[in-house]
Every structure is written in C-alpha cells, then in structure tokens.
Structure 1
C-alpha cells in the first residue's frame, strides 16, 4: 500500500524567550500530520523541531519512512530493538508508533534541528503537557514522560504502572500538569527537548496530538517532585517490578530464619545496588570481614530514598537489635531523577529518623554518597557532593555519625579508577576492600 508523502517534521518552530507572552496562543498544538509554523520566535533565526528515535547507544531521525535505531559493531544490548513509524489516529500520518523489544532504554524525543535551539515553556508552567496515547502492548514494558529543560536539567514522570493499565484501552488522552516536571529552582526558558516518551522492556505505544495548554488542568497522576524523595514507595521500574518485591520478601524470610537459628545480627548495611554488591563483587570481602560480625546486607539495586523508607516501614529491620547500621543511599535520586540536593538530603534525613525510631539502640553510620563519573567536574558528581555537604550535619553525640570515605576511593586528583569503579559508579572487589578497611576502625570503636 502506498504511503502519502508528508511534510518533514522540521518545519515546527521553537518558542524562545524573545517571544512576548501576549503573542502566544492559549494552546500550542504540535500537529504531526500537517506541520505548520508556530507563532513562537527563535533566537537562532528560525530553528525547527524534529522527532528522534533513540536507544541506549544510538539514535535516528524519524521523517516519513519507518526507522530502526542502528546498532554499533559491539552493541551493549545486542538483543534489543527500537523502531518507529508514522501511523494513524484520525488521518494518515497524524500519529507516531514506537516499538521497543528487550530494551534498556527506548525513546521518542522532540528535539531542535538547530544545535543551539531552545524553547521557552515558561508561559505554560501553570498549564499542562497533553497528548493522546494508545498502548497496544506493555505487559513487559512501560513508559515515562519527560522534558529536557536545559543544561543539566531533565525532568521525568515515571508512568510505568499507569501505562501498563492502558494496554488494550484504545486511544486515551493524558494531561500532565507542568508542575509534575518543574522544580522550584527550574527556569524552563531554554528547553532543549519539549517532549520525550521513554521506555524500557518490551512495548508498543502510539502518540498523537502533542500540545501545551496554558489553561490546562492535569488529569494524569504524578508524584510531587518536592516530596517524592520522602514519600515511601516500592521501586516501580520496568526492570525492577519482577524481582524487587520478591527480594523484599526474601530478606524478611532471611531475617526470620537467622533469628530462629539464634544467629546474631549485629551489623546491618542498608542501601542501593552499591550495597547489594556486598552479595556479588564484594562477597569475598563480606565473608572475610562482615559475616563474622553478624552482618546483614539490605541493598536493593536502583533504590532511591523513598524505596528504602518503604522497606523500613514494611518490616526489614523489625525485631532486630543491631549494634551498628551502615546507610549509603542517594546516588539514584541523582542519576535517574536528577533530584535537587535538598530533596535527596531530606530523604536521607527521613531514613535516619526512621532508623532511630525502629532501632533505638543502634549506632547509625551514614556514609557520604560515593563519587561517580570519571571526573570531579561532572554534573552528577557535583550534585552528590552538594548532598554530602547537606547531610554532614546529621552527626550527633548519641546515635548518628556521618562518615566520608570518598578520598580513599579516588585518585589524588579526584578522578576515578576503573580498577575501583569499573563502570564509574559501582565498586569492584578492590573497591569493596577499600570500603571495608575504611569502616573497620569505626566499627571497632
């Protein structure tokens, strides 16, 4: 069947800060079938928008013909496939269908054609981002919605569980309050990606009628970005749903079993995948150093502060009387959601308060968030260091001590060695040995 040739998507114009608010339409419609110039101005003399389809390693522009994201010669996810095509909602070409299979990351992104193109979305911050969506398949996948709001600014709403619930429901209209995305310090005057639909796993999703409304009312659920880090919640990511709750139940069973056998649990480690690594790359060191001290590892890959809070409130330390608790958490708040340092620090403080209430006899050792990325100048490293500064004051004379061992994990110039951080985030066995050596004097004391 022949396909009608459609105009290129690049004729959309970007809204920039030089456009007076009075010149803007009440609604901004990005009509996929009949692209037309918008009444926004461009600082770059007329920058367009284009749709880009991406996976974890590569991307390709979507024009009129179906596209598949190309693979490198040595792909890190060789079995994944991400593809997209123009499709139909009301008329030919007015929608885009995105399919992904076994993908770590798949995305449909609206990006400027000019490398310095940016959009001013401030007139819409009290309104909504809206679009129509049809979820054909998402039982093993799901999506999030995001806006790339400028340099070091990317705001994402996790919509995995609701998107799964939309499977087979036909076309549905979603309206996200812009307050789902904007944080108090955000500007949104130089937005680089006005719309991103990103997913993982396996799914097929079509979108149409993307628009911003200045007078819109949000109807799609979203967490409050100001409080999400302190609101207890399970980890609901595509890649975690199948194992996260079973791991929680397994840890509850492990504690029950050890208590039934009369085994002492005097030392508890709580955290994310870096703590979970004591059961993997750090296992040898754990067996040598911490197992004889009655160690218990409660690390869950991907956890943020709110996920640790949920686990504590659902029994993981109930009935225990450890001498020491070692807490290391927060780097996923930075890496996945780009939480403001103040929000992550608030989450860590909430965890400490929860531990003090549930384990009143324990000494709580709060570790500064470990360095990540190769160089100290990286945005995520600097954000973690800001968090470390904020939590330094948690130390008190009675039960809480903040310990920063980061200097022992880095080179003298602050860079990271892959001998210690193979992926510039997680530790090798050598890294876990450095961690253990740094902790021992504090545990012995």
Structure 2
C-alpha cells in the first residue's frame, strides 16, 4: 500500500460526510476527518521543540546538551508524508497541532485514530502513539512490538480505538493535539494520512486502564529491552547462589529505578548498611506495579525466607501514565498480597513514594501525594508498616534540592544516605521483631 495524499478536508467529526478517497480495493469504513491538512507540526527531543517549517528541520541543541550525541530531525516527503528520524535520543517526538480544536465527546465509543506508517529502521527503537486530551492530560499507547513487527514490511495501516485515550472524567471537548508519536534510541518512521474515522475498524487494541496496574507484564520499553530480562535472570541466579552458600537474603528491597540506584549512586551506603545483612536489590529502572508483579510471579522472591521486605513502587504509574492514584494503589495492594503468599514470615516496610518535581503542587506531586494517602491505609501494625520519608528528603517548605534529587526524581549519594538514616529506626525494629507466624 502506498501512502495516500492528504485531502483538503477538515471538519467536525460528528455528523461529517465521508470525504476520503481510497485506493483501489479498499472500502471506506466511515466518516473521515483528515488531520494533516492545515495542521502545524512540531519536532521535539527531551530538551527542545521546534516547528516543522519548510521541508526539513533539526531540533536545535542547547548550549550544554544533556545528550550531546542525540540527533532528532524530520522532513516532508514529495508524496505529502512526513519522516521522523532520531539517533541516540533519550526522547524524540513528532506532534500534530490543530488551529481549530476538535470536539470529540460524541465519538469516543466507536471512532478510531488511524494513520499509514512505514517503519524501516526499528531494531533499536519502538513507537508510542498518543493524544493530548486536554490540560494536564496526555495519553499514549505502547506500540513497541507492533512497530518492530512492521519493520521492512512497507506501508501499513494502524487503527487505534479512540477509547484507548479515554479515562474516567476526561473532557474531550477541545482537542488541539489529537496525534503525536514518540520514541527513544535510534530509528526512522514515515507517517501519512493521519485521520479520525467514525465507526472505524480497529487493527489493534490497548490495555484496559482500569486493570493495567494489576496485570503482570514485562517492561516493554525501548531503553529496557537489552537489560531488563537479563537482570531478572541474573537476580534469580544470585538468589540460587546465595541459598547454596548458606547465606540466603534476609532483607529485600523491591522497586523501580530509585531502588535500582542502590547499585549506583547508593552503592557506598548499601555496602556499609545492607550488604552485611545479605540484602537483595530487586529495583528495576522504569518498572510499574504490573512489571514488579510479573517479576515476583516468576521467582524473584522464591526459595528463601527473608526477614524484611522493603517495597516502594508507583511513581512510574502516576508519572508515565498519569493514572488515577487509586488504580496505582490497587497495583501496590496486589503486590503486598503476592509478597505475603511467597514470603509468609516476612514483615513488609511499605514506603511512601518519594517526592518529585522541584516544588509542591505540581500535577505529578499531587498524584503521588494522593497515592501515598492510599498506601498509608495498607499498614496493619503487624505484617505491614508504612513510612513516609518526605520530611527527611525534601526541604522544610517541600521543595527538592538538586543536591539530593539531581534530576528532581532520582537520588544522589547524599539522598541515599538520608534514605538509609531516615529508615534506620523502623527497619531495625522490624529486623529485630522476628518472623511472623
């Protein structure tokens, strides 16, 4: 299939008469709103964004780039399609902006967001397709495996149900950015005929946001594909070796990149405080609750009996997906149940998700504050203890210091020392309490 030339047609989706022309052999699937004509395009990396004016644009570098080797660019092709190319990028995006926002409230149940795409260079990349659904509302669908499967297959059609981008309470009355795609790593993708189709026929589905946090899956992200599963296998082997040597883990830390960082910025403190306790670090960068659940169900805390399990997870659920804190809390509750089933004698120290962003009051900070309110309710005074370390990590006014949080999310060595010091009294009490019966 070749890309279709854009149509000079942009109208309200609801009640639109079909205006698309289709190649031979394809029947129209419903009323169509072509989005590319009249749209403004923007190309971005993690540090800057620039409009696509003319035929080619390269995202400019700041004076001191965080990723000097990255290169993100886009070009218009003669057939009306657009090509996004990125190299060694932490983030690359192509975004469509409408001058006249669309009211999609009447089309959320049966419409599809469709495009033609061609991905000939995806060995080190993968795509998300998304929509900005209003103020502080961005939703996207992970198509890493689909975009890799399409590599070298020529032009493909993608049709996503519009409901993939809908959450309870969302307001779709003025959608000015109905389409973007983003990725990282290195790759090339060509897109054409981005459109909304009423009563469209989806070519793929999407996870149910109401149960995503409790459905075990591996971490499918471009930057994790090379190391996530090998890390899991390495941890299983480390447990087997420790058990065989008669030194099974007594203290287990479970979490995401902040816990993973005990092996990096926090290594010195780990070696001082926790290595003598035969501790095991099960932190994985990027993990959400569902990824931790997969790991637990695939053996990471089997075959030994720990005294204490320290659990902190959820900031990627609320950060990357911006999901309802109640949904994230359901994922944490599911993990607590899994830990109890696999480590019945262990006490659990459930940590409040650490603060993020420079100042209190940001959307992500508010989401995590609400999440922590849910988590505090899981403490039972015996099996599960809850501890909020924000008072020892943040400044008295709630702001974050870059000396403790260099990127306003992850910890420095001083941050890990504050974590260890703040946790020490509670952890010592739990370690001394003996196993549960």
Give the TM-score of the pair, scaled to structure 2. Answer: 0.90
2:45 counterpart of 1:55: yes
Q: How far apart in 2 are the matches of 1:392 and 1:118?
A: 41
Describe the SS at the equivalent of 2:121: strand
Q: How far apart in 1 are the matches of 2:284 and 2:217?
A: 13
Structure 1 residue aligned with 2:399: 415
Q: How far apart in 1 are the matches of 2:286 and 2:171?
A: 28
Aligned pairs for 1:29-178 (under 5 A) are 29-30=33-34, 32=36, 35=37, 49-87=39-77, 92-113=78-99, 118-126=101-109, 127-178=111-162
Q: How far apart in 2 are the matches of 1:257 and 1:249?
A: 12
Q: How far apart in 1 are the matches of 2:11 and 2:404?
A: 44
2:287 counterpart of 1:294: no
Aligned-residue offset at 1:22: 4.4
Q: How far apart in 2 are the matches of 1:22 and 1:29?
A: 11
Describe the SS at the equivalent of 1:326: strand
Structure 2 residue aligned with 1:43: none
Q: How far apart in 1 are the matches of 2:346 and 2:50?
A: 54
Relative to 1, partners in 2 of residues 1:236 and 1:23: Cα closer, same or farther, differing over 3 Å?
Answer: closer
2:365 counterpart of 1:381: yes
Relative to 1, partners in 2 of residues 1:24 and 1:439: Cα closer, same or farther, differing over 3 Å?
Answer: farther
Q: How far apart in 2 are the matches of 1:231 and 1:208?
A: 34
Note if contact 1:134-1:167 (Cα within 8 Å) is conserved in structure 2. yes
Q: How far apart in 1 are the matches of 2:107 and 2:81?
A: 23
2:31 counterpart of 1:27: yes
Describe the SS at the equivalent of 2:191: strand
Q: Determine which of 307, 320, 331 is the counterpart of 1:347.
A: 331
Structure 2 residue aligned with 1:45: none
Aligned pairs for 1:207-218 (under 5 A) are 207-218=191-202
Note if contact 1:30-1:210 (Cα within 8 Å) is conserved in structure 2. yes
Note if contact 1:29-1:211 (Cα within 8 Å) is conserved in structure 2. yes
Describe the SS at the equivalent of 1:94: coil
Note if contact 2:75-2:83 (Cα within 8 Å) is conserved in structure 1. yes
Where structure 2 has 5 or more consecutive residues not aligned to the other structure, the ranges are 19-29, 430-437
Structure 1 residue aligned with 2:165: 181
Aligned-residue offset at 1:119: 3.1
Aligned-residue offset at 1:397: 3.8
Where structure 1 has 5 or more consecutive residues not aligned to the other structure, the ranges are 1-5, 36-47
Aligned pairs for 1:316-335 (under 5 A) are 316-335=300-319
Relative to 1, partners in 2 of residues 1:128 and 1:436: Cα closer, same or farther, differing over 3 Å?
Answer: same
Aligned-residue offset at 1:24: 7.6
Describe the SS at the equivalent of 1:354: helix
2:217 counterpart of 1:240: no
Q: How far apart in 2 are the matches of 1:391 and 1:213?
A: 41
